[in-house]
Amino acid sequence: MQLFKQFSKAAVLAATVALSNGAMAEEAMNLDSLLKTLEQGQATQNQQNRQREADFKAQESKQLQMLRDLEQDRNAKLQESERLETGFEENEIKLANLTDTLSKRMGSLKELFGVLQQVAGDSSNKFSTSTVSAEIQGRSDFMNELAQKMGSTTRLASIEDIEKVWFEIQREMTEQGKVKRFNSEVIVAGGAKESKEVVRIGAFNLVADGKYLSFNPATNTLSELTRQPVSRFTETAADIQAAKSGRVDFALDPTGGSILGLLVQAPTTEEQIHQGDTVGYVIIAVGLVALLIALERFFALMIMGAKINRQLKDTVAREDNPLGRVMKVKEQYPNVAYDTLELKLSEAILREMPKITRNLTLIKIISVVAPLLGLLGTVTGMINTFQAITLFGTGDPKLMAGGISQALVTTVLGLVVAIPTVFLYTILNTRSRNLLLILQEQSAGIIAERSEKGA
C-alpha cells in the first residue's frame, strides 16, 4: 500500500513535468507510457543542469577578470586622489605666501582701494536713482563694475578708473545745480511711447508738456505720473517748460520724487466722499436739500422784505405783501372797538406767520440730524474695522483703512453739512423774526390809532 502511494506521487510529478512539455502529456495514456515519459523528463532535466553548470564555469573566469580590472581602477583613483590632495595642500601654501606678499607690496594702497570700492558702491546706488541718469546713462554700470573689481584681490584699479570716479561724482554735483532740456521717449497715459522735450530740474524733478514725470532706474525709462498733483503744482511745471531764461517759480520735490509720489497717491475730495459709502451719500443729499430750502427762503424773504419796506412808505394797503394784508383788516372793520380790532389783527398776523417761517424748522432739523448721521457712519466704519481685525489681525493696515476712512469721512461730512446749516437757519430765522416784528409793530400802531379815535 505504501509502495502504491509513493508510486502515485511519482506519477503525479511525472504528469506535471509532462504537461510542461505540451504534446507528450497528451500521449501518456497508461502507466507504462507515464513511466517512460518520467524517465525522459528526468534525463532532459539532467542535461539542462549540466548545461547551466558549464555556462557558469565559463562565466566565472570573465567575472574574475572584471573584478581584477575594477580593483586596478580603484587603486589608480586612490593614487590620483592622493596626488590631488598633495597638490591642493601645496597650492594653499603658495596662495597664502602670495597673498602675504601682495599685502606687503600694496601697503597703504590696500586701504585706498578699499575706500575706492566703498565710494564706487555708494555712488552706484546714488546714480541709479538719480534723475540725472535719465539724461546721462551708463554711470551706474561703470561704478558697479568698478566696485566688483575692487572686491577681487587679483584685479586693481587703474589711474584712469580712479579719475573717472572723481569725474562722475563731480559731474553729479554739477548737474544737480542745472536746469537742462533734452529729448527722450516718454511713456504717456495708455502705455504708448512718445518723443518729447523733457526739462530736468537738477536732480529733483522731470517735467514734459506741463506734467510731472517719474524715472524708473530698473528700465531707464520715463513715464508720466498716472495721477498728476493739483493744478497749483502743474501750473508751475508748465511755466518752467515754457520759460527760456530768467527766474521761474517751481514746485520742487527735494526728495527726487518721493514726496510727489506720496502726494499723488493721496485721495482726492471725490474719492474721500466715496469712502463715506451709503451714509456719506445720505448726508450729502440731506445737505443739498437744506441748501436748496435755504436759498429758496433767502430769496423769498428778501423779496417779501422789499415789498414790506415799500408798503411802509405807502398809505394804500396792497395785497402782494404780508403788511398790506394786515393793514387791510383796518379797512374791513372800520367801526369795531379797538380790542376787537386787536384780535382781528392778531389773527391776520398768525395767518401770515406760516408763510414767513415756512420750512425753517426743516432746516433746523437737518442741522441736528447731519451730525447724527455722521456718528452713524463712524460707528459703522469702526464695526467694519474691528471685524477686519478679528479676521486678519493687525498685520496689514490696509485691511482696516476702509473702515477707518468711512468712520472719519462720515463724521467730517456730517459736520460740513451741520455747521453751515446752523448759520443759514440762524440768518433766515432772524430775518423772518424781523419781518414778524414789523407786522406786530404796525399792528400795534393801528390799535393805538383806533384807541385814540374811540377815546
Residues 372 and 428 in one domain: yes
Per-residue pLDDT, 2: 45
Query: pLDDT tens digit string along 168-186?
Result: 888 888 888 888 888 888 8
Per-residue pLDDT, 447: 86
Hey, CA dihedral for 364, 368, 369, 373, is it positive or negative? positive
Per-residue pLDDT, 154: 57
**CA gap 193, 191 in Å, rounded:** 7
Residues 319 and 403 in one domain: yes
Residues 259 and 236 in one domain: yes
- Number of separate domains in the chain: 4
Per-residue pLDDT, 415: 92
Residues 326 and 427 in one domain: yes
Residues 225 and 192 in one domain: yes
**425, amino acid identity:** Y
- Bridge partners of 216, per DSSP, are 221
**CA gap 224, 238 in Å, rounded:** 14
Per-residue pLDDT, 196: 87
Closest CA to 384 of 309, 275, 282: 275
Residues 430 and 313 in one domain: yes
Residues 236 and 379 in one domain: no
Per-residue pLDDT, 364: 92
CB-based contact 308:322 (threshold 8 Å):
yes
Residues 335 and 417 in one domain: yes
Closest CA to 200 of 253, 121, 277, 162: 253
> 192 lies in which domain range?
179-266
**CA gap 326, 442 in Å, rounded:** 9
Strands 179-187 and 193-201: antiparallel
Residues 237 and 294 in one domain: no
Q: Which of 156, 176, 196 is the last residue of a domain?
A: 176
CB-based contact 38:19 (threshold 8 Å):
no
The CA-based angle 183-185-187, given to 5 degrees, is 140
Residues 407 and 288 in one domain: yes
Q: Which of 238, 266, 294 is the last residue of a domain?
A: 266
Per-residue pLDDT, 12: 45
Q: Which of 48, 77, 106 is the last residue of a domain?
A: 106
Per-residue pLDDT, 453: 72
**CA gap 315, 445 in Å, rounded:** 13
**Distance linking the first and last C-alpha atoms of the chain:** 171
Provide the strand spans (E) within 106-172: none
Residues 5 and 75 in one domain: yes
**CA gap 220, 255 in Å, rounded:** 19
Please provide residue 179's backbone torsions phi and psi, each rounded to the nearest 5 degrees.
-110, 115
CB-based contact 157:116 (threshold 8 Å):
yes
User: 293, exposed or middle or buried, with CB in 10 Å at 0-12, 13-18, 19+?
Assistant: buried
Closest CA to 443 of 353, 361, 362: 353
Low-confidence ranges of the chain (pLDDT < 70): 1-30, 102-112, 151-156, 256-257, 261, 263-267, 393-403, 454-455
Query: pLDDT tens digit string along 395-437?
Result: 666 666 666 777 788 888 999 999 999 999 999 999 999 999 9
**CA gap 244, 312 in Å, rounded:** 67
Residues 163 and 228 in one domain: no
